[in-house]
Amino acid sequence: MSAEIWIFVVFAFFFGVLIGWLLQRRTADKAPQAEAGSAPPAKIGVIEAELKNAKRLLEANDADTTSAAETLAGLDKAIARANERLKLILRSVKRATFSD
């Protein structure tokens, strides 16, 4: 019984290899053969313009990120100072409560 299973497994493997080879060959025949430098100059200009716009957006986002990071750092420091003040107030209230 084990030999029958292995025969099926080997047959399935070779069948899969055959199908994969046929599909690869079929897609290779349909794929356009692009040569280096074959893109029309108009398309290259459009792509260059898109790249420039993308770089400009990245620089703008970087500046926004930097200013947001600075704002958050300032907010974090302000919260830490307020927390320290609250701790001091709480200590003084505890002292006043226990001393009475």
Question: pLDDT tens digits for the chain (100 residues)?
Answer: 577 888 888 889 999 999 988 888 877 666 555 555 565 667 787 888 888 888 888 777 777 777 778 888 889 999 999 999 999 998 888 888 887 6
Residue 38: its pLDDT value, please? 60
pTM: 0.38
CA distances to 24, 36, 80, 87, 97 from 90, in Å: 74, 74, 15, 5, 10
- Tell which residue, 63, 65, 62, 85, has the closest CA to residue 73: 65
Structure token digits, residue 32 = 């356009």
Residue 61: its pLDDT value, please? 73
Q: What DSSP letter does each residue of 35-99 carry, written as one string?
A: PTT-S-HHHHHHHHHHHHHHHHHHHHHHHHHHHHHHHHHHHHHHHHHHHHHHHHHHHHHHHHHHH
